[in-house]
Amino acid sequence: MEKVRVRYAPSPTGHLHIGNARTALFNYLFAKHYHGDFILRIEDTDVARNVEGGEESQLKYLNWLGIIPDESPQHPNPKYAPYRQMERLDIYQKYTNWLLEKGYAYKCFCTPEELEVEHQRQESEGMAPRYNRKCLYLTPEEVAEKEKQGLPYTIRIKVPDNEVYEFDDMIRGHVSFESKDIGDWVLVKANGIPTYNYAVVIDDHTMDITHVFRGEEHLSNTPKQIMLYKMFGWEVPKFGHMTLIVNENHKKLSKRDANVLQFMSQYEELGYLPQAMFNFMALLGWSPEGEQEIFDKDSLIEAFSETRLSKSPSMFDKAKLAWVNNRYIKELPLEEFVKLCMPHLEKAYDLSSKSKEWIEKLIATYQEQVSYGAEIVPLVELFFNNKFEIEAEADEFLHSDPNIKNTLEVFANLLVNLDDFTKDNIFACIKETQKTANAKGKMLYMPIRIATTGIMHGPDLAVSLELLGKDVVLERLKNTINTL
Ligand code: GLU
């Protein structure tokens, strides 16, 4: 097999979003599985849509995910550079001249207004709108005259008659299109900049791209591209068109979908882990052979096979993402988990009076539970909020048994005499209360938990009390007992 070379070719029109990140990821996994190269090319020919910093942001989040290009504008291979389309205009020009000379392409002087009128006419007659080839029939003298007048023109391809464009899509199988369904499309716009369908062919060929994985929205572009490969007499790369990502309502995930976070930057900000995102996205449209779902990068590269890319849409399952991220969070060394949570805690609470040990202990308490960094903020509120409130359901529980008051009093009296307020000593007091107040299981733990934290579920009780500190715990116990 020749060396695999694939590319991810974003337009720098915004931040890296889920759809693009998945395209990049599958190209990357495929390349690395076959020991090939993964190339980043910037498709910036739609100049009006380019945004400042778009390329940097793409790169930053590819890096964050660990999808590192072998070649890119920042890391060019001189044999293939440059890697930004707007720096390759002279390359396209050379091929345009050749197409014009050979009669495969022609200049079109029709104005947008004329094209629009024709478009309307065709539609009103129930025809599929397409260019009427008016300029194909201009004589060389007419063309020269119009050029002399300085009239703007586009360059159109002369679509061959009666051709069939067939290919074996790596995901969808056999696909075929007929040239009769395709109008003469524009290769080069009036501003001299090539269109996507044109530039992509020149680039993929001159960069020795062997395989192309991209979104299914590009399927209908593929015959246009194959048409050019044939005119140039070039080998066509293998194509694989990935199915849509849909939301939980089975609707195509759109950038305006308020229910699903779209951008890698948002996941980073919330404290998702890049290795978990990498793992999760690999399962969006690809599945391994067995039941395993947690894979590190190397095992994904090893397991990846283009034959197991899905033919049906893949659902973006938020609960699954939370589960995957939680799995990775649990495995983190504590200091990494602390780093993940700290910015969120610092933003939400005043930590100035808390020791480093206390903060670390607090964070550690939630490592098993949280599914992303920022999720710790509401969970730890009870350790910061002086306004102590008991939830309604919990309050009902406190009033459900007459022995609860006694249990809390016994426990409070034991704590008063406790000098060293550590979880082990607190635990010993809970055990002592069990005997003295004759309260077991739920009737022991639940009243204490509710009276001190206000809620019915939480992390280890003795640890929670240690973190709250003796004064707060006694104060809350006293107040709760007074309500019983
Ligand atoms: N610039 C195109 C896009 O962002 C690339 C399409 C392709 O991979 O051919 O959709």
Burial 348-381 (b: 16+ CB within 10 A, else e): ebeeeebeeeebbbbbebbbeebbbbbbbbebbe
3 among known catalytic residues: no
pLDDT over threshold 80, residue 463: yes
Ligand 1: centre distance to CA 20 (Å): 9
Strand bridging mode 238-242 / 245-246: unpaired
Q: Say how many C-beta atoms besides its own lie within 10 A of residue 37's C-beta.
A: 21
354 in ligand 1 pocket by Cβ < 6 Å? no
Ligand 1: centre distance to CA 214 (Å): 7
Length of the chain in terms of residues written: 484
Mean pLDDT of 150-176: 97
Segment holding 215, helix H or strand E: strand 211-215
Name the token pair of 30.
């495929």
Ligand 1: centre distance to CA 219 (Å): 11
Ligand 1: centre distance to CA 357 (Å): 50
Ligand 1: centre distance to CA 30 (Å): 17
Comparing C-alpha atoms, which of 192, 229, 179, 206 is closest to residue 97?
Answer: 192
CA-to-CA separations, 225 to 105, 201, 203, 237, in angstroms, rounded: 14, 6, 11, 10
Mean pLDDT of 177-202: 97
Mean pLDDT of the chain: 96
Q: pTM of the full predicted structure?
A: 0.93
Euclidean distance between the first and the last CA atom of the chain, given in angstroms as a whole number = 79
Mean pLDDT of 61-76: 98
Share of residues in the chain with pLDDT > 70 (%): 100
Comparing C-alpha atoms, which of 400, 465, 411, 470 is closest to residue 435?
Answer: 411
Q: Which pLDDT score, from 0 to 100, does residue 76 have? A: 98
Strand bridging mode 314-315 / 245-246: parallel
Q: Which pLDDT score, from 0 to 100, does residue 257 have? A: 79
HSE toward the beta carbon, residue 354, CA cutoff 13 A:
19
Strand bridging mode 154-157 / 105-108: antiparallel
Q: Which pLDDT score, from 0 to 100, does residue 92 have? A: 98
Q: Domains in the chain, start-ordered, CATH in brackets?
A: 88-242 (3.40.50.620), 392-483 (1.10.10.350)
Q: Which pLDDT score, from 0 to 100, does residue 253 have? A: 84
Ligand 1 atom 4, closest CA: 10
Pocket of ligand 1, candidates 6, 8, 11, 209: which has the most ligand atoms within 8 Å of its Cβ, to mutate? 11
pLDDT in tens, 281-299: 999 999 999 999 999 999 9
3-state per-residue secondary structure call for 110-163: CCHHHHHHHHHHHHHCCCCCCCCCHHHHCCHHHHHHHHHCCCCCEEEECCCCCC
209 in ligand 1 pocket by Cβ < 6 Å? no
**Secondary-structure percent of the chain, ordered helix, strand, coil, rounded to 5:** 50, 10, 35
Ligand 1 atom nearest 20 alpha carbon: 4
pLDDT in tens, 3-34: 999 999 999 998 999 999 999 999 999 999 99
Ligand 1: centre distance to CA 10 (Å): 6
Q: How far apart are CA 357 and CA 355, in angstroms?
A: 5
What lies within 8 Å, CB to CB, of 80 at 6+ separation is: 39, 71, 206, 207, 208
With 0-12 / 13-18 / 19 or more C-beta atoms within 10 angstroms meaning exposed / middle / buried, residue 243 is middle
Q: Which pLDDT score, from 0 to 100, does residue 226 have? A: 98
Segment holding 380, helix H or strand E: none
CB 187 within 8 A of CB 156: yes
214 in ligand 1 pocket by Cβ < 6 Å? yes
Pocket of ligand 1, candidates 7, 196, 205, 220: which has the most ligand atoms within 8 Å of its Cβ, to mutate? 196
11 in ligand 1 pocket by Cβ < 6 Å? yes
Q: How far apart are CA 39 and CA 77, in angstroms?
A: 10
DSSP 8-state code for residue 43: -
Give me the amino acid identity at 18. Answer: I
pLDDT in tens, 302-354: 999 999 999 999 999 999 999 999 999 999 999 999 999 999 999 999 999 99
Q: Say how many C-beta atoms besides its own lie within 10 A of residue 264's C-beta.
A: 25
262 in ligand 1 pocket by Cβ < 6 Å? no
12 in ligand 1 pocket by Cβ < 6 Å? no
43 in ligand 1 pocket by Cβ < 6 Å? yes
Comparing C-alpha atoms, which of 211, 214, 174, 168 is closest to residue 43?
Answer: 214
Ligand 1 atom 5, closest CA: 9
Q: Which pLDDT score, from 0 to 100, does residue 385 have? A: 77
218 in ligand 1 pocket by Cβ < 6 Å? yes
pLDDT in tens, 113-151: 999 999 999 999 999 999 999 999 999 999 999 999 999
Return the SS3 of 195: coil
Q: Which pLDDT score, from 0 to 100, does residue 260 have? A: 85
Pocket of ligand 1, candidates 41, 47, 86, 200: which has the most ligand atoms within 8 Å of its Cβ, to mutate? 200
Name the token pair of 108.
């079109």
Q: How far apart are CA 419 and CA 289, in angstroms?
A: 58
200 in ligand 1 pocket by Cβ < 6 Å? yes
pLDDT in tens, 387-440: 889 999 999 999 999 999 999 999 999 999 999 999 999 999 999 999 999 999
Q: How far apart are CA 373 and CA 293, in angstroms?
A: 22
Catalytic pick among 255, 431, 440, 478: 255
CB 46 within 8 A of CB 197: no
Name the token pair of 103.
């009669």
CB 244 within 8 A of CB 273: no
Ligand 1 atom nearest 8 alpha carbon: 8
Ligand 1: centre distance to CA 281 (Å): 19
Pocket of ligand 1, candidates 43, 83, 217, 229: which has the most ligand atoms within 8 Å of its Cβ, to mutate? 43
Q: Which pLDDT score, from 0 to 100, does residue 258 have? A: 79
9 in ligand 1 pocket by Cβ < 6 Å? yes
Q: How far apart are CA 95 and CA 463, in angstroms?
A: 71
Ligand 1: centre distance to CA 207 (Å): 15
> Per-residue confidence at 449, pLDDT binned at 50, 70, 90?
very high
Segment holding 37, helix H or strand E: strand 37-40
CB 223 within 8 A of CB 163: no
